[in-house]
Amino acid sequence: MKRRQESRGEADKARVELVPEGLRVELPGGSDGKEGARVLLRACSTAMRERLELPLQVSRQPLLLARLLEEGAGALGDLLPASPPWRMAAEEDSAAAGAPLAAACSCGEAACGHLPEAMAIGEAAWATDAGLRLALVGWAPEALADAALACWAAAQPLPEPEAALRAYAGGPGAPQRSARGEGPHLAEWLADMAGQGHLHLPGPRFHDVAAGLQEEFRHGTPPGSASAAQPRLDREPGPEAAPWAALLPGVSGAAKGLELVAARVRERAAELAAGPPPRAAGSPNGKIRR
C-alpha cells in the first residue's frame, strides 16, 4: 500500500510516501545549497505491534468492531498510540539492542540535520491521518477486524468446527428452506434487480420529505383559510400535484404517480356511477319469471 502526501509550497515541497518499511520523506534541496535527502521513518516492529494488542482490544468492544468495518481506521480513536513508531522506538532505545534504527537518512550520517525536519513532517502526517497511523502500526482495517474475530473464535473454541457448521447449515442433502415456499430464488431475484439497476435506486426516505410544521404553505392558500375551503373550478378534477412535488423534492415521479392514481380513481368512479352492465338475455340471471 502506498500513500503519497505533499507539504509546503509548490516550488520546494516535501513528499511523504507510505512504504512497507514505514514512512519515506523526500526533502527537497534548498536555495542555500542544502542537498535534498530521503529519510525513512520506520514502522512498528513485530514486538511493538504485539505489545499494542489491537486485535484483543477491538474484540472486547463489539460496537467498535462494527464501526471499524463501516468507518475504517477513524473509528479506533484512542486505541491507536499517540506517538509515532519512530518516537516510541527512540524512547525505548531499541537501537542499542541491535534493532534497526528508528530513522535513517540517505546521506549516510547518523545524526544529520535532515532527521529532525523529516520527523516533524512525518509527525504532522501521523496526527492528521488515522489510516496512516493504523498502517504504520502494522494493520489494515480488514485485517484488524479478521484478527479480532479470530480472538472471539479462540475464546470460545468448538471441538469440531466443521461438524458444527454442517449441523447448523443442514448439510448438502437438507431441503432448502423458504419463507413463502414459492417464487424465484433469492439469488435470482437479486441478480435481476442488480441488472435493472434497482439496487442502486432507493425509494424515498424520511429525509426526502421537505416539510416543516412552522413552514409557510408555499403552494396555494394556507390550510384552514376561507379561500382554501372554496373549490377551484379552473382546473381538472383531482388532487393538486404541486404540493406533493414540493413535499418530495427528491422523488421525480411523485406528481406523475399521483396523477395516475387520481385518473384511475376517476375512471372507477365513473364505472360505478354508470351502474352494472346489462345482462345478456340468455343468461341464467336474465330469465323471466312467470
Question: What pTM value is reported for the model?
Answer: 0.51
Query: Terminus-to-terminus CA distance in the chain, angstroms?
Result: 96
Per-residue pLDDT of the chain (290 residues; tens, 9 = 90+): 555 555 544 335 889 999 999 999 999 876 666 778 999 999 998 999 999 999 999 999 999 999 999 999 999 988 999 999 988 877 665 544 444 567 888 888 777 888 889 999 999 999 999 999 999 999 999 999 999 999 988 888 878 878 877 777 765 555 555 555 455 567 777 777 777 766 665 555 555 555 554 444 444 454 444 554 455 555 566 667 777 777 777 677 777 888 888 888 888 888 888 877 666 555 555 444 44
Between CA 114 and CA 120 the distance in angstroms is 10
Q: What is the pLDDT of residue 162?
A: 80
Q: What is the pLDDT of residue 217?
A: 47
Q: What is the pLDDT of residue 39?
A: 92
Domain ranges for the chain:
4-149, 238-272
Alpha-carbon distances, residue 202 vs 95, 212, 250 (angstroms): 57, 23, 11
Query: What's the CA angle centered on 285, arms 282 and 288, to 5 degrees?
Result: 75
Q: What is the pLDDT of residue 122?
A: 94
What is residue 286's three-state secondary structure? helix
Q: What is the pLDDT of residue 213?
A: 44
Between CA 193 and CA 57 the distance in angstroms is 40
Closest Cα partner for 139 from 57, 40, 60? Answer: 57
DSSP structure string for 162-212: HHHHHHHHT-TTSPPP-SSS-SS-HHHHHHHHHHHTGGG-----GGG----
Cross-strand partners of 27: 37
Backbone φ, ψ for residue 158 (5° rounding): -100, 140
SS (H, E, C) 48-82: HHHHHCHHHHHHCCHHHHHHHHHHCHHHCHHHCCC
Q: What is the pLDDT of residue 246?
A: 74
Q: What is the pLDDT of residue 199?
A: 65
